[in-house]
Structure 1
Amino acid sequence: MLDALTRLGLEVKYLDPATAFYGDTLEMTELRRDDEAVAYAAGETDLVLRRPSTVPRGGVHTHFAFSVPADEYDDWWDRLDGEFDLDEHVFGDARSLYCYDPDGNCVELGQTNVDGPGIDGIFEVVLEVEDLARAESFYTALGFEPVDRGEDRVRTRLQGPMALELWEPHLGLADARGGLHVDLAFDGDPDTVRAAVGDAACAVESVDDGVRIRDPDGHYLTVTGT
């Protein structure tokens, strides 16, 4: 139903400091730019930095994870250490470092099986939700599968084209928070997605080659046909 994640949109107050972080410090390849937005390549996903001038606006204080080749991790740590207050967590055999961008998004760089060089994909995005059961029902209808739950249902981790974490309001690792009004886009089957969400969506509208849905917590999900 949903295939690759094609876009993650973030809201930025000013483009210059945001592009200095993602374009210069993280050395991401710029794809396009205008007065209101800049897009960078993160593997097959576009990271779009967008000023608050349109809808969907882009997520605020969003925690998300970039994929980096495992053998580059130490170089990334050395490059960012000192300039940023880094935090590190280990998941099995993989390490992840955490830092914050100029707009307060918690950015994770995690060791994954990607070719690189540099940032080569987004493997996790965290959404803040009011009601975990409602949010889980919404996204499992779209093909995500629950794989893990937090204590007292603070969070649910779903696996699909990428990992989607649903968090009730709280501080997670590195004091990260789930994003608000996050903008996600996927390749997929728009008609199947429209039917799957049914009346559970707050809004459903047609867009070029697809459909845009606003979930019960105000996050935007755009699906375009491949």
Structure 2
Amino acid sequence: MLDSLSRLGLEVKYLDPASAFYGDTLAMTELRRDEDAVVYAAGDTELVLRRPSTVPRGGVHTHFACSIPADEYDDWWDRLDGRFDLEEHVFGDARSLYCYDPDGNCVELGQTDVSGPGIDGVFEVVLEVEDLARAESFYTDLGFEPVDRGEDRVRTRLQGPMALELWEPHLGLADARGGLHVDIAFAGDPAAVSEAVGDAACAVETVEDGVRIRDPDGHYLTVTER
């Protein structure tokens, strides 16, 4: 139903400092820009930095994780240390560093099995939700599967084309928060997705080559033909 993450949209107040962070500091390749948005390549995923001038706006204070080759991790730490207040967490054999962009998004760079060089994909996005059970039901209907839950059930981790974390309002690792009105897009089967969400979606509209859905928490999910 959903094959791969094709876009993550972030809301930024000003393009210049956001571009300096993602384009210069994180060395991401710029794909295109206009007066209201700039798009970078994160592997096969487009990272869209968008001023609040349209709908969907892009997520605010979104926590998301980017893939880097395992053997580049120490170099990234040295590159960012001193310029940012870094925090590290270890998950099994993999390490991740956390820092914040100029608009308050918590960016994780995690060791994964990618070729690189540099950032080579987005493997996790965190959404803030009002009702965890409702949100979990919505996304499991789209093919995501629960793999982990918080002890006090403030969060659920789902696995699908990428990891999707659903958080009720709280501070996570590195004091990260789930994003609000996050804009994510997938390659997949638009008709199957529309049928799966049914009346649970707040809105379903046709867009070029697919559909755009607004989930019960106001996040935007766009699905375009594979």
TM-score, length of structure 2 as denominator length: 1.00
* Mapped partners of 1:16, 1:30: distance in 2: 13
1:32-43 equivalence runs, <5 A = 32-43=32-43
Residue matched to 1:106: 106
CA distance in 2, matches of 1:211, 1:3: 15
In 1, the alpha carbon distance for the partners of 2:6 and 2:189 equals 14
Q: Distance in 2 between matches of 1:189 and 1:154?
A: 30
1:150 Cα offset (Å) = 0.3
Counterpart in the other structure of 1:82: 82
Provide the C-alpha distance between the structure 1 equivalents of 2:113 and 2:127, rounded to a whole number of angstroms.
24
What corresponds to 1:157 in structure 2? 157
State the secondary structure of the residue aligned to 1:152.
Answer: coil
SS at 2:152 equivalent:
helix
Hey, what's the Cα distance between the residues in 1 that align with 2:14 and 2:151? 37
2-structure distance, mates of 1:209, 1:174? 38
Q: Secondary structure at the match of 2:133?
A: helix
* Cα distance in 2 between the residues matched to 1:131 and 1:151: 16
Determine the C-alpha separation between the residues in 2 that align with 1:77 and 1:94: 14
What are the Cα deviations for residues 155-187 of structure 1, in whole angstroms up to 9, with x where unaligned?
Answer: 000000000000000000000000000000000
The reply to whether residue 181 of structure 1 matches residue 145 of structure 2 is no
User: Could you report, residue by residue, the CA deviation over 1:11-37 in whole angstroms, capped at 9, with x for unpaired residues?
Assistant: 000000000000000000000000000
Q: How does 1:1-226 map to 2 (within 5 A)?
A: 1-226=1-226
Matched residues in 1 for 2:107 and 2:149: separation?
A: 22
Question: How far 1:137 sits from its partner (Å)?
Answer: 0.2
Any stretches of 5+ residues in structure 2 without a counterpart?
none
* Structure 1 unaligned spans of 5+: none
Q: CA RMSD in A?
A: 0.3
Question: Partners in 2 of 1:37 and 1:148 — Cα distance?
Answer: 35
Count of equivalent residues: 226
Give 1:151 deviation, angstroms. Answer: 1.4
Q: Aligned partners of 2:151, 2:7: CA distance in 1, in Å?
A: 30
TM-score, structure 1 length as denominator?
1.00
Q: Which runs of 4+ in 1 moved over 2 A?
A: none
> Structure 1 counterpart of 2:189, which letter?
D
Q: SS state of the match for residue 142, structure 1?
A: coil
Identity of aligned residues (%): 88
The CA distance in 2 between the partners of 1:176 and 1:18, in whole Å, is 18
